[in-house]
Amino acid sequence: MMRVDDDAEFKALQEGFNAGTPAAGAVDLAAADRMLKVMADLGGSDLVGEVTALPDGLFYIPAE
């Protein structure tokens, strides 16, 4: 499906994908909110709609 020429190319793509996978654990809500603001600044309502802050309950936060 990835249309690579050899195993080395496949491995490089796989490693690059895995490097971008977030670590397990709680979401940093402040960082997520900053990212939303960047997205809103760059893409406006076409990208984020009318959202200006992270909606309550967007991320599941397990009980401690």
Q: pLDDT tens digits for 40-58?
A: 999 999 999 999 889 998 9
pTM of the full structure? 0.61
User: What number is the average pLDDT over the span 19-43?
Assistant: 90
Domain limits, the chain:
27-56
> So what's the pLDDT on residue 61?
81
Whether 35 shows a pLDDT value over 70: the answer reads: yes
Q: Which residues contact 29 (CB under 8 A, 6 or more apart)?
A: 54, 59
What percentage of the chain has pLDDT greater than the value 70?
98
Q: Which helix (H) or strand (E) holds 22?
A: none
With beta carbons less than 8 A apart as the criterion, state whether 2 and 13 touch.
yes
